[in-house]
Amino acid sequence: MPNEIYRKRLINEIHHALREISDAGLINHHELRGVIREKIISKIIRPLLPPEYEIGTGKIISSKGEQSGQTDIVIHSMSVLPPIMHSSETGLFPIEACYYSIEVKSRLNATELKDSIQKARQLRSMHSTWPMARNFSPVIRVLIALDTDLTQDGMCELGRYSKHDAESSFFPAIQVLCVVGRGTWMHEQNPPHWRIYDATKEHDEIIDFLASLINTLLKFPPHTRQTTIGSYIRAERGFHFSVPPGVHIPDGILPGGTQRDPR
Protein backbone atom coordinates (compact mmCIF):
# COMPACT_ATOMS: atom_id res chain seq x y z
CA MET A 1 0.00 0.00 0.00
CA PRO A 2 1.30 3.50 -0.79
CA ASN A 3 1.74 6.18 1.82
CA GLU A 4 -1.54 8.10 1.53
CA ILE A 5 -0.06 11.42 2.66
CA TYR A 6 2.70 11.21 0.07
CA ARG A 7 0.35 9.99 -2.66
CA LYS A 8 -2.39 12.56 -2.04
CA ARG A 9 0.14 15.37 -2.02
CA LEU A 10 1.39 14.28 -5.45
CA ILE A 11 -2.15 13.86 -6.79
CA ASN A 12 -2.99 17.40 -5.64
CA GLU A 13 0.15 18.73 -7.33
CA ILE A 14 -0.76 16.98 -10.59
CA HIS A 15 -4.35 18.25 -10.60
CA HIS A 16 -3.18 21.78 -9.80
CA ALA A 17 -0.61 21.63 -12.61
CA LEU A 18 -3.20 20.42 -15.13
CA ARG A 19 -5.52 23.29 -14.14
CA GLU A 20 -2.66 25.76 -14.65
CA ILE A 21 -1.97 24.28 -18.08
CA SER A 22 -5.65 24.57 -18.95
CA ASP A 23 -5.63 28.24 -17.90
CA ALA A 24 -2.51 28.84 -20.02
CA GLY A 25 -4.54 27.75 -23.04
CA LEU A 26 -6.31 31.11 -22.84
CA ILE A 27 -3.08 32.94 -23.68
CA ASN A 28 -3.09 34.10 -27.28
CA HIS A 29 0.58 33.31 -27.97
CA HIS A 30 1.65 29.85 -29.11
CA GLU A 31 5.29 30.00 -27.99
CA LEU A 32 4.46 31.50 -24.59
CA ARG A 33 1.84 28.80 -23.99
CA GLY A 34 4.47 26.19 -24.81
CA VAL A 35 7.03 27.65 -22.39
CA ILE A 36 4.45 27.82 -19.58
CA ARG A 37 3.35 24.24 -20.28
CA GLU A 38 6.93 22.93 -20.07
CA LYS A 39 7.67 24.84 -16.86
CA ILE A 40 4.52 23.47 -15.21
CA ILE A 41 5.48 19.88 -16.11
CA SER A 42 8.98 20.58 -14.76
CA LYS A 43 7.42 21.80 -11.50
CA ILE A 44 5.83 18.36 -11.00
CA ILE A 45 9.10 16.51 -11.65
CA ARG A 46 11.62 18.73 -9.85
CA PRO A 47 10.61 18.06 -6.19
CA LEU A 48 10.94 14.30 -6.78
CA LEU A 49 14.46 14.40 -8.26
CA PRO A 50 17.42 13.12 -6.23
CA PRO A 51 19.90 15.94 -5.46
CA GLU A 52 22.40 14.88 -8.16
CA TYR A 53 19.98 15.77 -10.98
CA GLU A 54 18.71 18.98 -12.51
CA ILE A 55 16.17 20.07 -15.11
CA GLY A 56 16.99 22.19 -18.14
CA THR A 57 15.77 23.01 -21.62
CA GLY A 58 17.70 23.41 -24.86
CA LYS A 59 19.72 20.99 -26.97
CA ILE A 60 21.68 17.83 -26.26
CA ILE A 61 25.16 17.80 -27.81
CA SER A 62 27.90 15.25 -28.43
CA SER A 63 31.70 15.48 -28.44
CA LYS A 64 31.59 15.11 -32.24
CA GLY A 65 29.61 18.34 -32.62
CA GLU A 66 26.18 16.73 -33.12
CA GLN A 67 23.12 18.55 -31.80
CA SER A 68 19.65 17.24 -31.02
CA GLY A 69 16.51 19.12 -31.86
CA GLN A 70 15.16 21.65 -29.38
CA THR A 71 14.28 19.65 -26.25
CA ASP A 72 11.49 20.78 -23.93
CA ILE A 73 12.80 19.12 -20.76
CA VAL A 74 16.26 17.63 -20.19
CA ILE A 75 17.05 15.77 -16.98
CA HIS A 76 20.82 15.84 -16.53
CA SER A 77 23.58 15.65 -13.94
CA MET A 78 26.30 18.29 -13.65
CA SER A 79 28.40 15.83 -11.69
CA VAL A 80 28.89 13.82 -14.90
CA LEU A 81 29.71 16.73 -17.24
CA PRO A 82 28.80 20.44 -16.96
CA PRO A 83 26.45 21.97 -19.53
CA ILE A 84 26.98 25.23 -21.41
CA MET A 85 24.27 27.42 -19.92
CA HIS A 86 22.83 30.53 -21.58
CA SER A 87 20.39 31.23 -18.75
CA SER A 88 19.47 29.59 -15.45
CA GLU A 89 17.78 26.69 -17.29
CA THR A 90 18.49 27.03 -21.02
CA GLY A 91 21.66 25.54 -22.44
CA LEU A 92 23.56 22.82 -24.29
CA PHE A 93 23.84 19.51 -22.44
CA PRO A 94 26.53 16.86 -23.10
CA ILE A 95 24.79 13.61 -24.00
CA GLU A 96 26.79 11.60 -21.44
CA ALA A 97 25.27 13.75 -18.65
CA CYS A 98 21.68 13.44 -19.89
CA TYR A 99 19.24 10.84 -18.61
CA TYR A 100 15.85 11.90 -20.00
CA SER A 101 14.73 13.91 -23.01
CA ILE A 102 11.07 14.87 -22.64
CA GLU A 103 8.94 16.33 -25.41
CA VAL A 104 5.69 17.97 -24.26
CA LYS A 105 2.71 18.34 -26.61
CA SER A 106 -0.54 20.13 -25.81
CA ARG A 107 -2.66 17.96 -28.12
CA LEU A 108 -1.24 14.91 -29.86
CA ASN A 109 -2.09 14.30 -33.50
CA ALA A 110 -0.41 12.39 -36.32
CA THR A 111 1.68 15.36 -37.44
CA GLU A 112 2.96 16.09 -33.92
CA LEU A 113 3.67 12.41 -33.35
CA LYS A 114 5.70 12.04 -36.55
CA ASP A 115 7.69 15.17 -35.67
CA SER A 116 8.46 13.78 -32.20
CA ILE A 117 9.52 10.41 -33.64
CA GLN A 118 11.91 12.12 -36.05
CA LYS A 119 13.50 14.18 -33.26
CA ALA A 120 13.83 11.07 -31.08
CA ARG A 121 15.53 9.14 -33.91
CA GLN A 122 18.01 11.98 -34.36
CA LEU A 123 18.85 11.92 -30.64
CA ARG A 124 19.11 8.11 -30.63
CA SER A 125 21.71 8.22 -33.42
CA MET A 126 24.05 10.65 -31.65
CA HIS A 127 27.52 9.55 -30.53
CA SER A 128 28.34 9.03 -26.85
CA THR A 129 31.70 8.36 -25.18
CA TRP A 130 30.03 6.50 -22.30
CA PRO A 131 31.28 2.88 -22.71
CA MET A 132 27.93 1.39 -21.64
CA ALA A 133 26.19 3.27 -24.47
CA ARG A 134 28.00 1.62 -27.37
CA ASN A 135 24.89 -0.24 -28.46
CA PHE A 136 22.18 2.15 -27.26
CA SER A 137 21.58 5.80 -26.45
CA PRO A 138 22.11 6.79 -22.78
CA VAL A 139 19.13 9.15 -22.99
CA ILE A 140 15.59 7.84 -22.44
CA ARG A 141 13.27 9.51 -24.93
CA VAL A 142 9.80 10.50 -23.66
CA LEU A 143 6.72 12.08 -25.20
CA ILE A 144 4.08 13.57 -22.90
CA ALA A 145 0.79 14.73 -24.42
CA LEU A 146 -1.77 16.68 -22.40
CA ASP A 147 -4.57 15.79 -24.82
CA THR A 148 -5.12 13.77 -28.00
CA ASP A 149 -7.24 13.93 -31.11
CA LEU A 150 -8.03 10.21 -30.90
CA THR A 151 -11.51 9.30 -29.71
CA GLN A 152 -11.95 6.98 -26.75
CA ASP A 153 -13.54 4.26 -28.89
CA GLY A 154 -11.08 4.56 -31.78
CA MET A 155 -7.46 3.54 -32.32
CA CYS A 156 -5.39 3.41 -29.13
CA GLU A 157 -2.29 5.61 -28.75
CA LEU A 158 0.11 2.67 -28.98
CA GLY A 159 -1.61 1.49 -32.16
CA ARG A 160 -1.14 4.88 -33.78
CA TYR A 161 2.44 5.08 -32.58
CA SER A 162 3.23 1.66 -34.05
CA LYS A 163 1.74 2.79 -37.36
CA HIS A 164 4.30 5.62 -37.61
CA ASP A 165 7.35 3.83 -36.16
CA ALA A 166 8.24 0.59 -37.93
CA GLU A 167 10.72 -0.24 -35.15
CA SER A 168 8.16 0.18 -32.37
CA SER A 169 8.19 -3.46 -31.25
CA PHE A 170 11.93 -3.90 -30.76
CA PHE A 171 13.75 -0.55 -31.01
CA PRO A 172 11.28 2.36 -30.73
CA ALA A 173 12.39 5.93 -31.23
CA ILE A 174 10.20 7.03 -28.31
CA GLN A 175 10.55 4.74 -25.30
CA VAL A 176 7.88 6.26 -23.07
CA LEU A 177 4.56 7.67 -24.25
CA CYS A 178 2.31 9.32 -21.65
CA VAL A 179 -1.04 10.74 -22.74
CA VAL A 180 -2.95 12.41 -19.92
CA GLY A 181 -6.33 10.80 -19.43
CA ARG A 182 -5.50 7.86 -21.71
CA GLY A 183 -2.53 5.99 -20.28
CA THR A 184 1.24 5.50 -20.24
CA TRP A 185 3.18 3.07 -22.43
CA MET A 186 6.78 2.13 -21.55
CA HIS A 187 9.00 0.01 -23.76
CA GLU A 188 11.33 -2.49 -22.12
CA GLN A 189 14.15 -4.27 -23.92
CA ASN A 190 14.67 -7.66 -22.24
CA PRO A 191 12.55 -9.21 -23.62
CA PRO A 192 11.14 -6.51 -25.94
CA HIS A 193 7.61 -5.52 -24.87
CA TRP A 194 5.44 -2.54 -23.99
CA ARG A 195 4.24 -2.14 -20.43
CA ILE A 196 0.81 -0.47 -20.38
CA TYR A 197 -0.58 1.64 -17.52
CA ASP A 198 -4.23 2.65 -17.84
CA ALA A 199 -5.42 6.12 -16.90
CA THR A 200 -7.47 6.82 -13.75
CA LYS A 201 -9.38 9.80 -12.38
CA GLU A 202 -6.45 10.44 -10.06
CA HIS A 203 -4.07 10.39 -13.04
CA ASP A 204 -2.16 7.29 -12.03
CA GLU A 205 -0.81 7.24 -15.60
CA ILE A 206 1.30 10.29 -14.65
CA ILE A 207 2.25 8.88 -11.25
CA ASP A 208 3.40 5.62 -12.86
CA PHE A 209 5.60 7.56 -15.27
CA LEU A 210 7.09 9.66 -12.47
CA ALA A 211 7.80 6.60 -10.34
CA SER A 212 9.55 4.86 -13.25
CA LEU A 213 11.59 7.99 -14.00
CA ILE A 214 12.89 8.34 -10.43
CA ASN A 215 13.54 4.61 -10.08
CA THR A 216 15.63 4.66 -13.26
CA LEU A 217 17.69 7.61 -12.02
CA LEU A 218 18.38 5.82 -8.75
CA LYS A 219 19.35 2.63 -10.61
CA PHE A 220 22.00 4.42 -12.70
CA PRO A 221 23.47 7.19 -10.49
CA PRO A 222 26.02 9.67 -11.91
CA HIS A 223 29.07 7.78 -10.61
CA THR A 224 28.20 4.87 -12.94
CA ARG A 225 28.68 7.10 -16.01
CA GLN A 226 32.44 7.05 -16.47
CA THR A 227 33.44 9.67 -19.01
CA THR A 228 35.83 12.62 -19.35
CA ILE A 229 35.51 16.21 -20.51
CA GLY A 230 38.64 15.85 -22.64
CA SER A 231 36.70 14.64 -25.68
CA TYR A 232 34.72 17.92 -25.63
CA ILE A 233 37.54 20.43 -25.17
CA ARG A 234 40.87 18.94 -26.34
CA ALA A 235 41.99 19.41 -29.94
CA GLU A 236 43.04 16.45 -32.10
CA ARG A 237 46.76 16.70 -31.48
CA GLY A 238 49.54 14.45 -30.28
CA PHE A 239 51.98 14.39 -27.40
CA HIS A 240 55.57 13.20 -26.80
CA PHE A 241 57.35 11.39 -23.99
CA SER A 242 60.15 12.76 -21.82
CA VAL A 243 62.07 10.12 -19.85
CA PRO A 244 64.51 11.27 -17.11
CA PRO A 245 68.20 10.42 -17.72
CA GLY A 246 69.17 7.03 -16.37
CA VAL A 247 65.61 5.69 -16.34
CA HIS A 248 65.30 2.51 -18.36
CA ILE A 249 61.97 1.87 -20.06
CA PRO A 250 61.55 -1.74 -21.27
CA ASP A 251 60.73 -2.15 -24.93
CA GLY A 252 57.05 -2.05 -25.70
CA ILE A 253 56.02 -0.05 -22.59
CA LEU A 254 55.85 3.33 -24.36
CA PRO A 255 54.49 3.45 -27.92
CA GLY A 256 56.71 5.11 -30.44
CA GLY A 257 55.98 8.33 -32.29
CA THR A 258 53.32 10.93 -31.57
CA GLN A 259 50.19 9.67 -29.81
CA ARG A 260 46.76 11.10 -29.20
CA ASP A 261 46.12 11.75 -25.52
CA PRO A 262 43.13 9.58 -24.53
CA ARG A 263 42.33 11.58 -21.38
Q: Give per-residue pLDDT as tens, 63-115.
A: 999 999 999 999 999 999 999 999 988 999 999 999 999 999 999 999 999 99
Residue type, 114: K
pLDDT at 246 over 50: yes
**Exposed, middle or buried, 108 (CB in 10 Å: 0-12/13-18/19+)?**
buried
Q: What is the rounded distance in angstroms from the CA atom of residue 67 to the CA atom of residue 137?
A: 14
In this prediction, residues 43-50 reach a mean pLDDT of 95
Tens digit of each residue's pLDDT (9 = 90 or more) over 227-239: 889 889 988 877 7
Q: What's the average model confidence in pLDDT over 200-204?
A: 96
Average pLDDT over residues 3-14: 95
pLDDT of residue 133: 56
pLDDT at residue 20 greater than cutoff 60: yes
Q: How far apart are CA 55 and CA 217, in angstroms?
A: 13
Residue 134 has pLDDT above 80, yes or no: no
pLDDT given at position 258: 47
Phi/psi of residue 137, nearest 5 degrees: -75, 140
Ordered by where they begin, the domains of the chain are 4-223 (3.40.91)
Asked if 227 and 80 touch (Cβ cutoff 8 Å), the reply is yes
Share of the chain above pLDDT 90, in %: 71
pLDDT at res. 157: 95
Q: What is the pLDDT of residue 92?
A: 98
Could you give the maximum distance between any two Cα atoms of the chain, in Å? 84
The span from the CA of 107 to the CA of 149, in Å, is 7
**Residue 34 · residue 70 · CB < 8 Å:** no
pTM greater than 0.85 (yes/no): yes
